[in-house]
Amino acid sequence: MANAPNTQPTAGIAVKARPAPEQQMRVVIVGHVDHGKSTLVGRLFHDTGQLPDGKLEAIEEMCRRRGMPFEWAFLMDSLKAERDQGITIDTSQIWFRHDAREYVLIDAPGHREFIRNMVTGASNADAALLMIDADQGVRRQSRHHMYLLQLLGVREVAIAVNKMDLVDYDEARFRTIETEYRQYLEGIGITPRHIIPISAREGDNVATASKNMNWYEGPTILEALPQFEHPASAAEQPLRLPLQDIYKFDERRILAGRVESGTLNVGDELVFSPSNRTARVESIESWNTDGSAIVARAGESIGITLDEQIFVERGEIASHEIAAPVESDVFHARLFWLADTPLEVGTACELKIGPNRVDAVVEKIERVIDIDALTDHDAARVARDEIADVVIRTSQLVAFDEHDNLPHTGRIIVVDKHLTLGGGVISLGNYPDQREAVTVRGTNLTEVDHRVDPARRIARNRHKPGVLWFTGLSGAGKSTLAMALEQRLFDKGYQVYVLDGDNVRTGLNANLGFSPEDRAENIRRVGEVAALLADAGLIVITAFISPYRADRDRARQAAGDAFREVFIDADVATCEARDPKGLYRRARAGDIKEFTGVSAPYEEPTNPDISVDTSGRGIEECLDELVEYVTENFRKSV
Amino acid sequence: MDRLDILEARSVYILREAYACARPLAMLWSVGKDSNVVLWLARKAFFGKVPFPVVQLDTGMELDEVYAYRDQYTKEWDLDLIVIDCPPESEMDPSLPPMTRSAARKSAGLANLLEDGGYKGVFVGIRRDEEATRAKERVFSPRATDGAWEFRDQPAEFWDQFTTDTPENAHLRIHPLLHWTEIDIWRYSQRENIPINPLYFSQDGKRYRSLGEKNITAPIDSDAATIDEIIEELETTRSPERAGRLMDNEAEDSFERLRTSGYM
């Protein structure tokens, strides 16, 4: 036999026999239904002589059988249902060579029924070509598709104003559309490479310059394609390696995942978020290579071993200690909603952030965006195909990045069982990065036991220790009630002390400012001090707005059973009318930024131990209620 | 990373997602060039192991060299091989054109495998560029028990987030090669030194470009006798890859009908 089969050693080392071919450029073709997406693809193939043998004849035959004129769209509309109905249902891909570069042309459906198929096609693209019908002008999906492309992360964009033959190749008509659409693109932060007047059906400015539009001096479609560039490598960005799995097929314990950004070296100290465990990279493992790799860069699917066998799970993100991802259980997301069932406040769902999955609840719908006018409005629900800003709370701390910093780890998708409901990009806004609050920096720590038993402290004080954690808006009456309660309880013989917001900021927390992270740290320290004082046997009353549930939950964790959440309840209007420190006035005037209740959120307790309504009630009445609560809960039961 | 590195990294990611989320798994191994690459990528993803069974849907009509390759590398690569005997043609839908009916035996074999094995995910080495309905596939394609493809209602799939959960009694077709082209397969096989079935190389002016059952597959005219020559041939040819797969073009929608009822 002339040709021996290739039976070289199967685990031999890979060799590169030929120069590596250039990376393919994936271009999605989008736009309103019937604006000529599929026709353009057919025309490109025809004019560059790349139709497979027999394809033209096959299309002619399909059209003849249906008694219709020749239809280029049949090149891509491969399903019989699509051809019968004359509509693209699902996205398709076709390979195309030009000028030594390979293109994958992704045809996306333009019908609004099939937005999720358009999203599927577009999310795989490096660049986009958006078609606008010169006769019909800019339509709903012309805008909707572009808005989605921007969210999906496609930045390389060119526009084709198609069907110029229908408007007699009129320059004025083209300029009108160009001006209108450029303005829209500016509004969403996209600069197109080109806006090209074409006729896909007639071939004007597709593969060859049109003789019918001498007034146009820019490139043809075929000349514009090579100008699309691939996104810059993410290797220079901070390292993110979300873990897909941990393998133990042999003696090696291998952590597997894809480097989404940055560069990893053997010997690097990694921190895994959100467990915050650390270990060093011992090796980069691979199969059928020479095994010499000591560095892995963005885009590579790798496996690593660690110098220590720490417990980490799928979904955690490995990074370097400096420039680690954010950790939070609450964040903002700009969502595109794909499901038939509308999204509502309180909707429970599951999120995927890379390989991580977490239960979540939509806590707030901040605004729904009008994609046409680029304005927004309040809404109680987000319907299918709408885009909205929402606040999402997860059931546990998760690691991620703000999308503007690192897109790959700043994206979520919303799922319900096997259905994908929507996708979105994340930001923190006013919410603090909680990483610092949960990180223990010390190592080799050993706790020692006290010799004084807590029971003996209770016996001497004749009351149990407690942390009465007052939370509520500024002006709700926290400080006033706290100080009055301290006096009453002291007079009754209690060991009691108040930790007050402004007081600790001049001492214990003098080094903290008002950034979201500093506010979280302020509360964390107060929570820890309160826990220590309670451990010493005291009843501690804290008077802090403490707007974030996560911060209060951590204070509860620190103090354990002694902790009571006390909601000092008064609405914003009441508090603003009182305004004892003149803060609301200054916040409304814009002098104070991110003021709770005005320009920053207050997360009400969902299940406080006691709620004290201070609007329209005197101090004494509220105080009696609190004293009774303390007596019932903390007096030593003999 | 060059083009092959990028393709490989994404396929490995897909394989690992499936292994983490959609077990028990099986991998279809037709013993053709594409499923050989999937098998190779699995060994890449799992560091030399193939941690699930590989399944040949056998019609008894494969070419001798296919069986020889299967037996040799099952042993050499330490594979957990399952051979499924496909039901006879007489049990297939009589309304299908004759060769399509013959091909449908594999869909029936696959349905039996799923029913008996209770697999949640099956790897299939199809590619978007080889056939127009395959171009519309998802990477993770949910199917009902009978394998039917609901092409009118496919799930959204973006940012490499895949549908890994399925309703009761459904399974996933997982397509790790969807984004590869025919030339990519050859370049990668060459780079990785993957053993090549001799049927792909020209003998007496003919070679198989795509392997199928001998009753419904024909070799093409070709003098390409090395991988380099195959790549050269593919860079200039205008005839489609599956031109030798006779069932594809029996009727306008014969292959579509095969696929919507569960063919790979």
Residue A453 to residue A443: CA distance in whole angstroms: 27
Look at A77-81, A231-235, A393-397, B164-168 and tell me which has the smallest mean pLDDT: A77-81
B110 CA: distance to closest CA in chain A (Å): 23
Residue A81 to residue A64: CA distance in whole angstroms: 17
Burial of B234 (0-12, 13-18, 19+ CB in 10 A): middle
Answer yes or no: do A372 and A314 share one domain: no
Are the beta carbons of B158 and A24 separated by less than 8 Å? no
Inform me whether the C-beta atom of residue B136 falls under 8 Å from chain A C-beta atoms: yes
Are the beta carbons of A20 and B2 separated by less than 8 Å? yes
- Is the preceding peptide bond at A274 cis, omega within 30 degrees of 0? yes
Inform me whether the C-beta atom of residue A471 falls under 8 Å from chain B C-beta atoms: no
Answer yes or no: do A217 and A74 share one domain: yes
Q: Which of A250, A258, A288 sits opposite B192 (nearest CB)?
A: A288
Q: Once rounded to an integer, what is the mean pLDDT over residues A129-157? A: 94
| CATH code at position A186 | 3.40.50.300
Q: Which of A258, A303, A418 sits opposite B163 (nearest CB)?
A: A418
Answer yes or no: do A403 and A503 share one domain: no
pLDDT in tens, A459-495: 999 999 999 999 999 999 999 999 999 999 999 999 9
What was the pLDDT predicted at A3? 40
Answer yes or no: do A497 and A628 share one domain: yes
Strand order in the sheet with B54-58: B81-85, B54-58, B25-28, B121-123, B171-174, B140-143
Residue A353 to residue A406: CA distance in whole angstroms: 13
Percent of chain A at pLDDT exceeding 70: 96
What was the pLDDT predicted at A627? 95
What was the pLDDT predicted at A1? 35
A 98-117 residues inside an 8 A Cβ radius of B: 102, 116-117
The β-bridge relationship of strands A563-569 and A466-471 is: parallel
Residue B254 has pLDDT above 90, yes or no: no
Residue A455 to residue B64: CA distance in whole angstroms: 85
Q: Which two tokens stand for residue A323?
A: 């420039």
- On whether residue B66 sits in a domain, the answer given is yes
8 A C-beta contact, residue A127 and residue A160? no
3-state secondary structure at position A458: helix
Answer yes or no: do A275 and A157 share one domain: no
Answer yes or no: do A305 and A424 share one domain: no
Distances (CA, A) of A549 to A366, A446, A468, A477, A528: 19, 30, 16, 19, 16
Active site residue A38: no
Percent of chain B at pLDDT exceeding 90: 66
Nearest to residue A107, comparing CAs of A193, A13, A41?
A: A41
Inform me whether the C-beta atom of residue A52 falls under 8 Å from chain B C-beta atoms: yes
Answer yes or no: do A480 and A504 share one domain: yes
pLDDT in tens, A181-193: 999 999 999 999 9
8 A C-beta contact, residue B238 and residue A52? yes
- On whether residue A434 sits in a domain, the answer given is no
Q: Once rounded to an integer, what is the mean pLDDT over residues A544-572? A: 93
B152 CA: distance to closest CA in chain A (Å): 7
Most confident range (mean pLDDT) of A229-233, B114-118, B150-154, B197-201 is B197-201
N- to C-terminal Cα separation, chain B: 31
Answer yes or no: do A315 and A331 share one domain: no
Inform me whether the C-beta atom of residue B206 falls under 8 Å from chain A C-beta atoms: no
Q: Once rounded to an integer, what is the mean pLDDT over residues B34-41? A: 97
What was the pLDDT predicted at B30? 94
pLDDT in tens, A63-117: 888 888 888 878 877 777 787 777 788 888 888 888 888 899 998 888 888 899 9
Run of H or E including A31: strand A25-31
The amino acid that residue A368 corresponds to is V
| Number of domains within chain A | 4
What was the pLDDT predicted at A19? 56
Q: Once rounded to an integer, what is the mean pLDDT over residues A513-535? A: 91
* Residue of A261, A474, A479, A546 marked catalytic: A546
Task: Tell me the residue range of the domain where B126 lies.
Answer: 3-180+250-260
| Number of domains within chain B | 1
Distances (CA, A) of B127 to A93, A516, B181: 11, 49, 7
Contacts of A102 in chain B (CB under 8 A): 181
Residue A2 has pLDDT above 60, yes or no: no
What was the pLDDT predicted at A6? 41
Task: Tell me the residue range of the domain where A281 lies.
Answer: 234-320
Q: Once rounded to an integer, what is the mean pLDDT over residues B26-34? A: 96
Contacts of A357 in chain B (CB under 8 A): none
- On whether residue B222 sits in a domain, the answer given is no
What pTM does this model have? 0.86
Are the beta carbons of A92 and B226 separated by less than 8 Å? no
Instruction: Give which of A83, A103, A120, A385 to mutate to test B binding, by max B Cβ within 10 Å.
Output: A120
Residue A15 has pLDDT above 50, yes or no: no
What was the pLDDT predicted at A373? 86
Inform me whether the C-beta atom of residue B194 falls under 8 Å from chain A C-beta atoms: yes
8 A C-beta contact, residue A549 and residue A607? no
What was the pLDDT predicted at A441? 74
Contacts of A256 in chain B (CB under 8 A): 16, 45
What was the pLDDT predicted at B6? 94
What was the pLDDT predicted at A637? 63
- On whether residue B227 sits in a domain, the answer given is no
Count Cβ–Cβ pairs < 8 Å, chain A vs chain B: 204
3-state secondary structure at position B197: coil
Residue B12 has pLDDT above 90, yes or no: yes
CA B16 to chain centre: 18
Are the beta carbons of A93 and B135 separated by less than 8 Å? yes
| CATH code at position A292 | 2.40.30.10
Mean pLDDT (chain B) is: 91
Residue A481 to residue A598: CA distance in whole angstroms: 23
Residue A329 to residue A359: CA distance in whole angstroms: 10
Answer yes or no: do A345 and A408 share one domain: yes
B 42-81 residues inside an 8 A Cβ radius of A: 43-49, 51, 73, 76-77
Q: What is the ipTM of this complex?
A: 0.94
A387's CB contacts (< 8 A; 6+ apart) are A147, A151, A334, A335, A336, A337, A368, A369, A371
What was the pLDDT predicted at A20? 56
Inform me whether the C-beta atom of residue A247 falls under 8 Å from chain B C-beta atoms: yes
Nearest to residue A266, comparing CAs of A321, A316, A303, A228?
A: A303
A247 CA: distance to closest CA in chain B (Å): 8
Are the beta carbons of A62 and B252 separated by less than 8 Å? yes
- On whether residue B52 sits in a domain, the answer given is yes
Indicate the angle between helix axes B227-236 and B182-192, nearest 10 degrees: 160
Pure H helices in chain B:
3-21, 33-45, 64-76, 98-117, 182-192, 227-236, 254-260
- On whether residue B97 sits in a domain, the answer given is yes
Mean pLDDT (chain A) is: 90
Of A274, A305, A320, the residue that ends a domain is: A320
Q: Which of B45, B152, B183 sits opposite A89 (nearest CB)?
A: B152
Residue A25 has pLDDT above 50, yes or no: yes
| CATH code at position B122 | 3.40.50.620
Contacts of A263 in chain B (CB under 8 A): none
Answer yes or no: do A104 and A204 share one domain: yes
B81 CA: distance to closest CA in chain A (Å): 18
Residue A457 has pLDDT above 90, yes or no: yes
Look at A12-26, A548-562, B65-79 and tell me which has the smallest mean pLDDT: A12-26
Answer yes or no: do A88 and A198 share one domain: yes
What was the pLDDT predicted at A119? 93
Answer yes or no: do A253 and A298 share one domain: yes
Inform me whether the C-beta atom of residue B152 falls under 8 Å from chain A C-beta atoms: yes
Choice between A50 and B22, residue whose per-residue pLDDT is larger: B22
Burial of A372 (0-12, 13-18, 19+ CB in 10 A): middle
Of A201, A227, A253, the residue that ends a domain is: A227
3-state secondary structure at position B64: helix
N- to C-terminal Cα separation, chain A: 100
Are the beta carbons of A117 and B154 separated by less than 8 Å? yes
